[in-house]
């Protein structure tokens, strides 16, 4: 089409430098689209008609060029009714891909009056549903002032066209800003704020998970010394949980016997405990001792020396037991979502003793065998005691402590 040359004389652009066609939404709707729908002549054909099925986004650039100044967005009219005679879904497929609507239509207002709606679409290369998202974005504007019929406002097209004039939309196509490639685009982003926002949002769910995992990894590195020395041996389902671990000072393995499921858990109750080779460390003893010592160092037995160890203990208990029946002084430490993503601080001496709260139990109830297997698996990975990376189901994130952090 030769209409593109209207703005230049002898190749010289009539548009002064710094100026470009960049209409407000109100101008797009109220001036251009209204005139188009009413078949009124628009003074300078800066916006052309385009058949969206036949043009790829990158072809639209050529087709919709205005003058010779560099552009970052391109405008055109498109007609909706041409796509499907029936139904409401639009066919926006091209040879190379398709346009997919995303999000809700946004209401466009002029002052306080509603004048239209804007739909956002993204171009995917390939075929649905396996398309590859591209950086091409389209805003599709249509007139809609909420009235029952737009005909009275728009008027009847004198040409008597069979095509409904209400099917016209005006579109803006642009390439999403990829902040990595600032050299390619004429206008630079407005600072690191927008950059950070774009990066964090464009990553989506996976970015958040990566952040969580990397944070956990970082905090674990600082405790790698201790964690390396913790070896956990979990017995089979018939037996009690045993923990054997080594302390920094004492490399000989010690065992602690945790009370059997369902057994009464008085400190003197040894009836269910296998004797001899194990050094019995009643579970409640651990807590009582911790109670007495705010610094939480069980120095006498050298058993549990910091929060990480206790966390493991607790986690193993949680996963190993379908029911937790303990007396009140044996309430677990809090299953606090904030704590689950931050391992105990490095310097244990400074950690105040956390208030004891009732734990939320794991939502799934496994039998003990399965749980012991899980424990084995759990303690195989250093920082995975909440069982996140071992789980393959997406719902693992929606259960458990990290559910508060999902996107």
Partner 1 sequence: MGDGVANLPPGFQFYPTDEELIVHFLHRKALLLPCHPDIIPDLGLYLYEPWELQGKAWCGGSKWYFYSRRTVDRVTRSGYWEPVCQEEPVFTSSSRKQVGFKQCYAFHYGESPHGIRTSWTIHEYRLSGGNSSTGRSSRRKGQKIIDPSTWVLCRVFDCDDEHGGDSSGGVELSCLDEVFLSLDDDEVSFPS
In the set 1, 5, 19, 231, which binds partner 1 (CB under 8 A)? Answer: 19
193 is an interface residue for partner 1 by CB under 8 A: yes
Beta strand 73-79 pairing with 48-49: parallel
In the bound state with partner 1, the residue whose beta carbon lies nearer, of 69 and 244, is 69
139 is an interface residue for partner 1 by CB under 8 A: yes
In the set 137, 265, 303, 308, which binds partner 1 (CB under 8 A)? Answer: 137
What is the nearest approach in angstroms of partner 1 to the Cβ of residue 298?
38
Q: Rounded to an integer, what distance in angstroms lies between the CA atom of residue 324 and that of residue 5?
A: 79
28 is an interface residue for partner 1 by CB under 8 A: yes
Q: Rounded to an integer, what distance in angstroms lies between the CA atom of residue 55 and that of residue 62?
A: 10
Locate 12 and state its tokens.
């010289």
174 is an interface residue for partner 1 by CB under 8 A: yes
Q: Rounded to an integer, what distance in angstroms lies between the CA atom of residue 106 and that of residue 149?
A: 20
Q: Which residues of 107-145 are buried (b: 16+ CB within 10 A; e: fewer)?
A: ebeeeeeebbbbbebbbbbeeeeebeebebbbbbbbbbe
Choices 39-47, 52-60, 87-95, 360-368 (CB under 8 A): range interacting with partner 1: 39-47
Q: Which helix (H) or strand (E) holds 170?
A: strand 168-175
31 is an interface residue for partner 1 by CB under 8 A: yes
Contacts of 143 (CB under 8 A, 6+ apart): 29, 33, 34, 37, 115, 116, 150, 154, 166
26 is an interface residue for partner 1 by CB under 8 A: yes
390 is an interface residue for partner 1 by CB under 8 A: no
Q: Rounded to an integer, what distance in angstroms lies between the CA atom of residue 31 and that of residue 103?
A: 26
In the set 22, 248, 346, 358, which binds partner 1 (CB under 8 A)? Answer: 22
Locate 346 and state its tokens.
């490095």
Angle between the N-to-C axes of helices 368-380 and 307-320, in degrees from 0 to 180, rounded to the nearest 10: 150
In the bound state with partner 1, the residue whose beta carbon lies nearer, of 188 and 214, is 188
Report the Cα 335 to chain-centroid distance in Å: 23
What is the nearest approach in angstroms of partner 1 to the Cβ of residue 20?
5
105 is an interface residue for partner 1 by CB under 8 A: no
Angle between the N-to-C axes of helices 283-292 and 307-320, in degrees from 0 to 180, rounded to the nearest 10: 150
Locate 338 and state its tokens.
């904030």
Choices 9-17, 277-285, 286-294, 347-355 (CB under 8 A): range interacting with partner 1: 9-17
61 is an interface residue for partner 1 by CB under 8 A: no
In the set 104, 181, 328, 350, which binds partner 1 (CB under 8 A)? Answer: 104
Q: Rounded to an integer, what distance in angstroms lies between the CA atom of residue 127 and that of residue 125?
A: 7
Torsion of CA 268, 321, 387, 309, to 10 degrees: 0
Choices 143-151, 156-164, 197-205, 305-313 (CB under 8 A): range interacting with partner 1: 197-205
In the set 5, 44, 147, 153, which binds partner 1 (CB under 8 A)? Answer: 44
176 is an interface residue for partner 1 by CB under 8 A: yes
Query: Rule CB under 8 A: which residues touch partner 1?
Result: 14-28, 31-32, 43-44, 46, 70, 72-73, 100-104, 106, 108, 120, 122, 137, 139, 172, 174, 176-177, 182-183, 185-195, 197-198, 201-206, 209-210, 394, 397
């Amino acid at each position: 089409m030769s209409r593109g040359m209207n703005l230049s004389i002898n190749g010289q652009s009539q548009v002064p430098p710094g100026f470009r066609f960049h209409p407000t939404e109100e101008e797009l709707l109220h001036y251009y689209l209204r005139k188009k729908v009413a078949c009124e002549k628009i003074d300078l054909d800066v916006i052309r008609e385009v058949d969206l099925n036949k043009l790829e986004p990158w072809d639209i650039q050529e087709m919709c060029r205005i003058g010779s100044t560099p552009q970052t967005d391109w405008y055109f009219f498109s007609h909706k009714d041409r796509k499907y005679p029936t139904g409401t879904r639009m066919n926006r497929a091209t040879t190379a891909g398709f346009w997919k609507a995303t999000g809700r239509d946004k209401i466009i207002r002029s002052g306080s009056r509603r004048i239209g709606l804007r739909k956002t679409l993204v171009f995917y290369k390939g075929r649905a549903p396996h398309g590859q998202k591209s950086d091409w974005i389209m805003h599709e504007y249509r007139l809609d002032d909420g009235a029952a019929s737009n005909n009275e406002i728009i008027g009847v097209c004198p040409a008597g066209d069979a095509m409904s004039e209400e099917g016209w939309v005006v579109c803006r196509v642009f390439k999403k800003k990829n902040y990595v490639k600032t050299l390619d685009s004429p206008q630079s982003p407005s600072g690191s704020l927008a950059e950070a926002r774009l990066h964090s949002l464009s990553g989506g769910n996976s970015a958040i998970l990566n952040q969580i995992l990397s944070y956990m990894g970082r905090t674990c590195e600082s405790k790698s010394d201790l964690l390396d020395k913790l070896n956990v041996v979990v017995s089979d389902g018939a037996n009690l949980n045993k923990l054997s671990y080594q302390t920094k000072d004492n490399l000989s393995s010690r065992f602690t016997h945790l009370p059997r499921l369902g057994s009464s858990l008085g400190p003197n109750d040894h009836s269910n405990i296998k004797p001899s080779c194990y050094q019995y460390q009643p579970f409640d003893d651990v807590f009582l001792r911790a109670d007495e010592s705010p610094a939480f160092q069980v120095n006498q037995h050298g058993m549990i020396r910091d929060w990480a160890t206790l966390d493991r203990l607790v986690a193993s208990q949680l996963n190993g037991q379908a029911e937790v029946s303990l007396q009140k002084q044996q309430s677990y430490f809090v299953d606090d979502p904030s704590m689950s993503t931050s391992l105990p601080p490095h310097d244990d001496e400074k950690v105040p003793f956390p208030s004891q709260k009732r734990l939320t139990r794991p939502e799934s109830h496994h039998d003990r065998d399965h749980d012991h297997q899980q424990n084995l698996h759990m303690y195989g990975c250093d920082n995975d005691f909440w069982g996140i990376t071992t789980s393959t189901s997406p719902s693992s994130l929606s259960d458990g402590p990290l559910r508060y952090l999902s996107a």
